Amino acid sequence: MAAALFLMYAAVSLRLHQRLLTSSYDLGIFDQVVRSYAEGHLPVSEVKGRDFPVLGDHFSPILALAAPFYWVWRGAETLLVVQAALLAVSVVPLTLWARRALGGPAGAVIGACYGLSWGIASGVGYDFHEVAFAVPLLAFSLTALGNDRLIAAACWALPLLLVKEDLGLTVAVIGLVIAWRGDRALGVLTAVSGLVGAALTVLVILPAFSPSGSFAYWFLVETPQGAPRVPGDPGTTGGSAGSLLDMLYRGTIGLVTPQLKVTTFALTLAPSVFLALRSPLLWVALPTLVWRFMSNNGLHWGTAYHYSLVLMPIVFAAFIDALVRRGTSGRSLRRYLAGCAAIALVILPSFPLFQLVQPETWQTEPRVAVAQRLMDKIPDGVTVQASNSLVPHLTGRDSVSLYGAPDSRPDPQWIMVETSVPDNSRWWPGEPLSAEVEGQRLAEDRRNGYELVADQEGFVLLHRQR
C-alpha cells in the first residue's frame, strides 16, 4: 500500500512540476535551501531576498536530511520524490496498528482512507514543504502512544522540534498525553522540552538569523492596519487594551468565524466519521488548529495547500484509538469502516490525487516544450531572474530570484519571463506585477543593455554580457 501511494504522490507532484504548475513560493525556496545544505553551508534563498538566511524565516534544520538525495539528482524533482516517500512511509505504522488491533480488512480500509485523505492530497498537490517530515514522525509517535509504548512515543515526537517552530507546541501536547497515559515524569519532561524548544526557536534562534532581528511572523496574529472589520470583531482600538481585546476575540469567537473555519474543522474530522473526537490523541491537533484559525491570513483557514498535512495522521490515529478503546467489532466496526470509506471517496474528486485519472494531467501543452528549450539556453552557475513558475526549474543549477520582486538580486545575467500568464498568477508576497507593468519593465531592461535572445510562445529571454 505504501509503495502504491508513493507512486501516486510522486506522479501527481512530478506531473504538476513538468507542466510548469509549481512555483517559486514554495518549491523554489526549498530547493535553494536543500541545495545550500548539499553544498555544505547554512541555507539561503535568493527567492526570499539577496542571500536571505532561511534559518531566520522558519526553523527547519531537518531539511539537511534531504541533502544526500540532492547529491544524486540536483533539482526540485528530488524534493518532490522525497516528500512522496515521507508521506507514503507514514501509512505503514497506522495501517499495521489498525490491522493488529482491528483485523486485516479494517487495516486495509483505514490505511487506504488515510493515504487518500484530502489533507495528504492537498499537500501533494502544492509543491514541497518541510512539514512533510513531521507526518511520519507523528504517525510513528501516535501509534506508539496509542499502544502505551510511551518512551517510543516521546522519542518519535522530539525530532518535531527540528521540523518547524510551531511544532514545539505539538510536542508539548504529546507530552501531556504521555503523562495522562501513566508516565508522569516522561510526559512532563517531553512537554517541557516542547515548550522550551518552541520558545528558544521563536525568541532566540530565529531572531538571531533574521535580517529584521525578530520573529518574522508575529504579524499573523495582529490586526492589519486598515483591515476590514468582521461583524462583532472588536478590532484594534490602539494601545495594549485594544491588542488585548483583539487577542481575546481571536482566541474565542475568532476561532469559529468566518464559517470557513468551521467547515475546515468539520472536514478534518469527517474521515473518522467524527469518532476521533472520542480519543485523547486528538488533543495533539489543537496547537495546529489554534494557530491556523487565529491567523489573519485567510489561506490558513481553508483546506488548500499543505496546512492540513500534519492533521491527517493525528485524526486517523485518534480514529483507530477510539475504535480500539470502544472495543468496536462486528457490524458496528463495519459501519464505521463503510462510513470512512464513503467519505474518502466522496471527497477525493475535489482534491489533487483525482488528477491521476484526468486526461489533461497526462497532456503536455506546447508552451512547456518551448519553455524547456529556452531554459536550456541559460548556462549553469549564472544569476537569473525568472517568472514564478519558471523559478523551480532553474534553482538547482543557477542563482535564481523572482522577476519584479523588490528584494530580488539586481542586474542578473539572464532574465526569463512568461508574459502570457494571467495577472492573478503573477504572485509573490506584496503587490502582484501586472502584465502592463511587466511589459514596461522588460522594455526598460532592453534599454538598459539586455539583448533579446528569444521571444516565443509568450516567453521572453534576455541576456546581458558582464
Give the residue among 1, 15, 277 at the shortest CA–CA distance from 114. Answer: 1
pLDDT of residue 236: 42
Taking the complete model, does pTM exceed 0.85, yes or no?
A: yes
Give the residue among 7, 103, 56, 406 at the shortest CA–CA distance from 202. Answer: 56
* Cβ(440)–Cβ(460) below 8 Å: no
- Grid cell for residue 5: 501511494
Residue 423 predicted with pLDDT over 80: no
Residue 187 predicted with pLDDT over 60: yes
The whole-number average pLDDT for the span 217-239 is 54
pLDDT in tens, 357-404: 999 999 999 999 999 999 999 999 999 999 999 999 999 999 999 998
pLDDT of residue 435: 81
Residue 225 predicted with pLDDT over 70: no
* Cβ(191)–Cβ(177) below 8 Å: no
Give percent above pLDDT 70 in the chain: 93
pLDDT in tens, 236-289: 444 455 567 777 887 788 888 889 999 999 999 999 999 999 999 999 999 999
Helix axis angle for 134-146 and 150-157, nearest 10°, is 170
Per-residue pLDDT band for 422 (boundaries 50, 70, 90) equals low
Per-residue pLDDT band for 429 (boundaries 50, 70, 90) equals low
Distance CA 375, CA 394 (A): 8
Residue count (the chain): 466
pLDDT of residue 252: 84
